[in-house]
Every structure is written in C-alpha cells, then in structure tokens.
Structure 1
Amino acid sequence: MSLRPHIRFIVNPVSGPKSRVDVAARIQSLLNHEKFKHDIVYTTHAGHAPELARKAADKGYEIVVAVGGDGTVNEVAQGLLYSETALAILPKGSGNGLARHLKIPMGLDGALKALNRGQISTIDSGSINGHAFFTTAGIGFDAYISSVFAGNKKRGLQTYVELVMKEVLSYKHLPIKARINDNSFDTNCYVMAFANAAQYGNNAYIAPMADIQDGLLDVCLVRKLDLVKALHLSYCMITKQLANVDSAEYFKTTHVKVETEEPMMFHADGDYKGKATDFEVEMKPLSLKVLVP
C-alpha cells in the first residue's frame, strides 16, 4: 500500500431518508487527511456504482466507500469482488444490513471516525441466479415484500413493517422442489431465505448464527405461515431467537437448487430481481475485502 492510501467515496445522492447533511463537507471535516487522500464521485443512475467501483479498483485505489443504503452497498461491492480494493460503508439507507453486521456506526460522523482507524478483513458473498448478494437473498414472501417496497414512496422500518402486516395473510405458499447438501425434497415454501450475514437490516435477524466468513449459506425455510406465526416470527427476528422456533427450518450448505411450477419472486440484498422457476444459489468464499472498525 502507498504511504497515503487512496479512497474513493461513491455517493448515491438519493439514497435513504431526506437529510440536509452535506456529506462532502463531513468527509472533508472528519477524514484523516494525513492518513488518506480521497476523491468523491456521485452516481447518476441504477447500475452506475459498480462501474465507478470497478474503475477505482483497476486504478489501484485501496478503499472504495459506498455512501448509501443496501442497494448502493450491493452495487459498489459488485464492482470490487475478487479485487485487492476494500469496501467501506457510510450507511445512509433505511436498512443498512451489511453495515450493521460489520458493526459500522449508523451515524455518518461515527462511521467516518471508524473508517479512519479501520482494518481490512475478507468476507464471503453469495450469488442467486447470477445476482451477487452480501447479506441475504430469498424467494417467496420476502421477495414479494421487496417488490412492493420498491414501488412505495415512503421508506424506513415503519413502512416495511406496515407492508408485511398488510400482505402476510394474502400471500400464499407454493410447492417447490429443493436440493440442499445432495438431498432433494418436495415441500411448501412461504419463504426461503439464503443468509450470508445474520440480518436483513434494521436488526431483523433471519439467521442469527450466520458467519460471514465461514464459506456457508444459512438457509431458512418457512413452509407455511399464518398471522399468529407471523407475529411470533417477527418477534423472534428482532430478539435473535428465530433459529429456535418450530416455524423455521435451517440448513447450512454451499449450494442450493430450487425448482418451482409457478414463477416465484426473488431478491438479492432486498433488491427485487424478478420471477423465475429455477433458482441456483451458491457461495463465493472470501471474495470481498472490507474495511471494519
């Protein structure tokens, strides 16, 4: 590494709750300029961040910082996969799943101070039908909620919870054929979540035992759900007890194949990706360098 590592900040100007905070000014004020040199670039459209991150990695930047929510983090991380450039995060979204898992402070000032003293580590990533994810991916109800949430003008945890409670009874489970650890089985599926990290975001823990460096997916299968079970599951997600409830089954694996008769929705890091009848989910061990406090 050079004497003064070069950092690129990639800012999504429309990410997260509206704020009057001048991100560039806070970076200028709080970044340790004796330790780092930096530049700031802004995304202008969906899919721009991977390009900006990839160019920075190709030019030898040591660190690229995603300034935004889970979607921005996902896009920046995509551009850095298998490179020597580390991802850092200034969380500015509504969920901030990867930032929370990595114990990055949620406030901009705290995250910048943590960046100044951060250390580089390496984590796993996952892939669902060719789409990279770093916290969770899933098929079924959580993907359906992602599709509805994406079209909602209001953001944040309250909006997400309201959508879940509104839609939980109308969404129906579907039959699937799954192959996990060389075992094939037919089952119902309300939701099948593939967890690299422990939580979706907002401290909602879908896989409390997940280790982001173990090379394994933590697969959570919920076959059927009613309102009582949904309320119980929601409580257990918030209290990190989901792995201990009867409604959810867990598997650890490196590769999952799922076939469905009817097209099912799927998401990657909360970003709705569409529908499919065939799903292939796999791990990419130790594929991303990250800066952690």
Structure 2
Amino acid sequence: MSHQSTIRFIINPTSGPKSRQDVAALIALHLDKNKYRHEIVYTAHAGHATDLAKEAADKGCNIVVAVGGDGTVNEVARGLLYSETALAILPKGSGNGLARHLLVPLNIKGALRIINRGYTSFIDSGNINGHPFFTTAGIGFDAYISSVFAGNSKRGLKTYVQLVLKEVMKYRHLPIKATINGSVFDSDCYVMAFANAAQYGNNAYIAPMANIQDGMLDVCLVRQLNFRKALHLSYCMLTKQLATDSAEYFQTNAVEVETEQEIMYHADGDFMGKASRFSVHMEPKSLKVVVPA
C-alpha cells in the first residue's frame, strides 16, 4: 500500500438538511481508503471549526474538509491560512459561494470524487478589519441583511430572498469617504461589496470578473438604489453581467473607508458588527485548496 495522506473532516451538524450519520456514511463509502487515512470531528459552537482546523494543520494533516455552509468554510479556512494543509469542501449550506466558485460539485458524492483526485492550488484571501474572508465582504445593505438573517430562526435561500425583498426599499444609503488606488472621494453608499470570488453564493454574481488568484479585490459600489435600479442589479447578478447602470466597479489590492456613523459589515455573509472605519486588503495565495483538475 502506498503512503496514505491524513485527512480530517470537520462537520457542522447544524448545516443542511441531512444528519451527521448520512455524511459519515457517505465518507466511509466513497473516500479512497488506499489514499487517505481519515477522521471525523464535529463542531460544538461558533469558532470551533477554526480551532479544529488549526489543530489539524499544526499536526501536519494534509487536507482538512469543511462540511457545512459558507460560515463553516470560512471558519475552517481561517485555521488553515498560510499553512501547507489544504482546504477541501463538502457543501451543505444554502449559498455555497466558495464551493461554487471553485467548481466543486454541490453533492457530497461528487465533492468526494474531487478530494480523491487530490489536485491542489493556492487562492487569495481578503481581510476586513482583521476578519479573513474568501468570497466577499461588504458594508451597507448586504451586511444589514446578514445581521437580520443571523437572527432569523428560519434558514435557507427562500428565507434570505424573502428578507431581501422585504428590506431592499426600506434601507437608506449613507455617506462614506473611500480611498481606492490613491484616490480619495466622498460618496453615498447603499452597499459596497469587496469581492475576492465572483459571487455571494447561489450563483448571485456581485463581481463577475473577480479572479480568486490575481491578488486583487473587485469592488462594487452602489451609491443609491431605487426600484428600477434594484431590478436591473438583480437581473445582472443572476445573469453574470456587470450592472454598469446601477453600480460602479473598481479593482485594487486595498480599500480604506470612513463613515460619520457606525455601519454594519460582514465577511463571507457572517455579520461582524458595526464600525466607522474599514480597512480591506488582499492576502495573495494565502490558502491551499483542493480543486477539480
């Protein structure tokens, strides 16, 4: 038998509709046992996945698999930054933004096939006020929705869309001062999205041209939003087009934003709180990932 690689599966038992027994059984059935020696651990609280991932990396584990949604993926990836341990994903969330961007199959059997092949690459990560992100971060409306969604007892895409439709015309833009590529400008801000990957998740493309390996942030600024612009922006996001009539786009490796009053912000869809100063930058090629060939 050839040398086996070590692999740890970190399962968030609250993600997705399937039970932990289903996932464990599928792993046992479809993981290449000649190639991998594996273990399965479960998260018990918020932030636990980061600790479990870092522990595995410190022990020299070859691959750590995030089994859950975007929040679980973010936590696991944070624990693996700048290590030689690769992140793999078994998607079980509603958005699955990073899995979709990396073209990982959204079913567990298909995702395990990718892991069995074992191809790896390096991708960039972003950082907003000290919080790593791997798909998108943002201030304004998308962060506000993240905060409302976090407090909602119902999960899933349907609930998220219902919240957006309910709140989109109620939310009001706020003044900001932004520094991008050495230029300082004042602006209204309904939402300012900082994209490492092209989409939020669910194939909603906020920055269709974003490249997760170019060391650059793709910034989407929506200054104000009325009903017509909201329809146009939604259409463009779902058809992978630039919404140039509704938004402005910038490419940079760092952004500074100041606001007169504290506003909400998020990282990979998780509500981070409020702040009046935001420092956003890229960390090039900082995360090793398992990808399709």
TM-score by length of 2: 0.97
Which residue does the alignment assign to 1:65? 65
Which residue does the alignment assign to 2:125? 125
- CA displacement 1:184-243 (0-9 Å, x = unmatched): 0000000000000000000000001000000000000000001221122111101001x2
Which residue does the alignment assign to 1:254? 253
Q: Residues of 2 paired with 1:17 and 1:177: CA distance?
A: 43
Q: Residues of 1 paired with 2:254 and 2:210: CA distance?
A: 15
The answer to which of 12-21 and 278-287 deviates more is 12-21
Q: Residues of 1 paired with 2:17 and 2:171: CA distance?
A: 28
- Shift in Å at residue 69 of structure 1? 0.3
> 1:197–1:210: 8 Å Cα contact kept in structure 2?
yes
> 1:16–1:155: 8 Å Cα contact kept in structure 2?
no
Letter in 1 for 2:214: D
The answer for unaligned runs of 5 or more in structure 2 is none
Taking the TM superposition and a 5 Å limit, the aligned residue runs for 1:1-293 are 3-17=3-17, 19=19, 22-241=22-241, 243-293=242-292
Q: Residues of 1 paired with 2:149 and 2:231: CA distance?
A: 19
- Shift in Å at residue 249 of structure 1? 0.5
Q: Say what the alpha-carbon RMSD is for the aligned residues.
A: 1.1
> 2:232–2:243: 8 Å Cα contact kept in structure 1?
no
- Shift in Å at residue 16 of structure 1? 2.5
Q: Residues of 1 paired with 2:102 and 2:274: CA distance?
A: 30
> 2:233–2:243: 8 Å Cα contact kept in structure 1?
no
Q: Residues of 2 paired with 1:229 and 1:152: CA distance?
A: 27
Q: Secondary structure at the match of 2:8?
A: strand
Q: Residues of 2 paired with 1:16 and 1:172: CA distance?
A: 33
Letter in 2 for 1:285: P
- Shift in Å at residue 12 of structure 1? 0.4
Q: Residues of 2 paired with 1:206 and 1:270: CA distance?
A: 13
Q: Residues of 1 paired with 2:3 and 2:204: CA distance?
A: 40
Letter in 1 for 2:69: G
> 1:17–1:155: 8 Å Cα contact kept in structure 2?
no
Q: Residues of 1 paired with 2:147 and 2:37: CA distance?
A: 39
Letter in 1 for 2:67: V
Q: Residues of 2 paired with 1:19 and 1:42: CA distance?
A: 12
Q: Residues of 1 paired with 2:20 and 2:216: CA distance?
A: 41
- CA displacement 1:44-97 (0-9 Å, x = unmatched): 000101110001001000100000000000000000000000000000001000
Q: Secondary structure at the match of 2:284?
A: strand
Q: Residues of 1 paired with 2:58 and 2:285: CA distance?
A: 19
> 1:17–1:94: 8 Å Cα contact kept in structure 2?
no
Letter in 1 for 2:102: L
Q: Residues of 1 paired with 2:233 and 2:107: CA distance?
A: 29
Letter in 1 for 2:57: A
Letter in 1 for 2:71: G
Q: Percent identity?
A: 73
Q: Residues of 1 paired with 2:150 and 2:17: CA distance?
A: 14
- Shift in Å at residue 160 of structure 1? 1.1
TM-score by length of 1: 0.97
Q: Residues of 2 paired with 1:194 and 1:287: CA distance?
A: 17
Distance 1:261 1:121, change over 3 A: same
> 1:121–1:291: 8 Å Cα contact kept in structure 2?
yes
Letter in 2 for 1:101: H
Q: Secondary structure at the match of 2:200?
A: strand
Letter in 2 for 1:192: M
Q: Residues of 2 paired with 1:19 and 1:197: CA distance?
A: 29
Q: Residues of 2 paired with 1:20 and 1:71: CA distance?
A: 17
> 1:124–1:212: 8 Å Cα contact kept in structure 2?
yes
